[in-house]
Amino acid sequence: MTIITHLINGEMRPANGRVTDVFNPATGEVIRQVELASKTTVEDAIAAAKAALPAWRNLPPARRAQILFRFKTLLEEHESQIVALISEEHGKTPEDAAGELRRGIENVEYATAAPELLKGEFSRNAGPHIDSWSDFHAVGVVAGITPFNFPAMVPLWMYPLAIACGNTFVLKPSERDPSSTLLIASLLQQAGLPAGVLNVVNGDKEAVDTLLESPDVKAISFVGSTPVAEYIYGEGTRRGKRVQALGGAKNHAVIMPDAELDNAVSALMGAAYGSCGERCMAISVAVCVGDQVAEALINKLIPKIEALKVGAGNQKGLDMGPLVTRAHLNKVTDYIHGGVAAGATLIVDGRRLAVAGYESGFFMGGCLFDQVTPEMRIYQEEIFGPVLCIVRVNSLEEAITLINDHEYGNGTCIFTRDGESARLFCNEIEVGMVGVNVPLPVPVAFHSFGGWKRSLFGDLHAYGPDGVRFYTRRKTITQRWPARISHEAAQFAFPSGQ
């Protein structure tokens, strides 16, 4: 059986340690194993990144951008191979996997603008005979820890921009679906990236803790659950590291009485059930303003949920594939049991879905709950599965209060045809990413991605302008060349520009 190893200093490191299984979630079969890096292996990756740093950060940004241009081309040329690996190990449909990859490529495109993004600022005559300017320097060796649900896109949020800014990088992807991540990293090597600039170590908590403890790792980017995000932020900042840690979500869609309901239903179907709900931007709560809206929405949702096409991720034309592992399938199932026990009405039950020919796969159909209330666990916690909860409120103001009271603040949206309602919602909602008639308001690459409250730990969002700020340090230089005049007297008052 193939054992997936690590990319360190431009070479694949032979397997010689602990391993864990990688499944095809459609069949339930073990298709590969992946080595879990030891502390020594991770330290070797950090050492390789540290050794590569001086030459790489001194390479002109335009030269770094040229490598990223070639990388973009290689990603496009190998799209089918990357998509197949994502579908095989994660379970995504080919169309969903291709969309993920394209959004990742957009971030590579943004990073190719490094010469423009890294331009400093200059002020001539900021004071008498004084010029002042600022420029941007690489942070050093930085690390990324990424989740299973976007094995291509989320790493591409991180290391293309980090290395464009002159840093070197150690990536710790999810051990559940590592093959596409490693293939993409190898394509960057083919594009001409010097050895050691990007290193990939597969692993578990031992690898994460080694990155956190190393004094040579200056910054860490993380995407995953809130408990782990909080742990990484606390441990990283305690050691003086720069940390951005993106956590969990409970994303609400507000359905107003004046909403164009057919469009809202179509949007909700994709946002709630696309990728089996295994997205941090998935809509998992529909907040209906008024019982009439709720009843009309339910009547339109039921036949569409029951008609979802579910099958193996390697088949085209499907709406959903399987969940990523049996353990995760069991976790989502437990949430559904709990929702029923708590008194919510399970209108559509996808727990008994069977896919012909794939009886051992990790499949679940779409589920729909009504009469969900804020004290229920299925409302409070991130389920990360194909489960949509309906909560009924009496006004937009009540909907806003409901959302603002939740501990998560990642994404939200409102469906309405009224500009005043939309404007009030955008102004008052305490959430980092907001859509108006857009169910998944994921920012494009030249903006930045991140939530509020317990959905983000750290001051800067991912990729875009915030990504540049995270992966650089500003240095401000003030320079004076005195005029050729007689010696000036000492000045003891605090200097000013006057």
> What CATH code is carried by the domain that includes residue 275?
3.40.309.10
For the chain, how many structural domains are there in total? 2
Helices (H), 58-200: 61-77, 79-90, 94-111, 114-117, 153-164, 179-190
**Pair 235, 339 in one domain:** no
Cα–Cα distance list, 350 to 141, 162, 386, 388, 401 (Å) = 46, 42, 9, 11, 31
In 3D, which of 124, 108, 118 has the Cα closest to residue 74?
Answer: 108
Is 390 domain-assigned?
yes
**Pair 229, 321 in one domain:** no
**Pair 320, 420 in one domain:** yes
Bridge-based pairing state of the strands 3-4 and 29-35:
parallel
In 3D, which of 31, 6, 27, 3 has the Cα closest to residue 359?
Answer: 27
Query: Quick one: pLDDT at residue 128?
Result: 84
**Pair 459, 404 in one domain:** no
**Pair 239, 286 in one domain:** no
- Give the CATH number for residue 231: 3.40.605.10
Query: Quick one: pLDDT at residue 481?
Result: 85
Q: State the catalytic residues.
A: 280
Q: Are 119 and 113 in contact (CB under 8 A)?
A: no
Q: Identify residue 404 by its one-letter amino acid code.
A: N
For the chain, which ranges sit under pLDDT 70? 484-488, 496-498
Q: Which domain holds residue 52?
A: 3-247+455-477
**Pair 241, 380 in one domain:** no
Helix (H, G, I), strand (E, B) or coil at 51: helix
**Pair 432, 338 in one domain:** yes
Determine the Cα–Cα distance for residues 444 and 264; give it in Å rounded to an integer.
22
Q: Measured in whole angstroms, how far is the alpha carbon of residue 58 from the centre of its chain?
A: 29
**Pair 321, 387 in one domain:** yes
Q: Global pTM?
A: 0.94
Is 370 domain-assigned?
yes
**Pair 161, 48 in one domain:** yes
Q: Are 384 and 278 in contact (CB under 8 A)?
A: yes
Determine the Cα–Cα distance for residues 198 and 58; give it in Å rounded to an integer.
16
In 3D, which of 320, 236, 244 has the Cα closest to residue 278?
Answer: 320
Q: Are 412 and 254 in contact (CB under 8 A)?
A: yes
- Token pair listed for 477: 């230089």
Is 189 domain-assigned?
yes
**Pair 233, 283 in one domain:** no
In 3D, which of 304, 300, 302, 320 has the Cα closest to residue 312?
Answer: 320
- Token pair listed for 405: 């009271």
- Token pair listed for 350: 């996808």
Determine the Cα–Cα distance for residues 339 and 347; give it in Å rounded to an integer.
12
- Token pair listed for 14: 């032979």
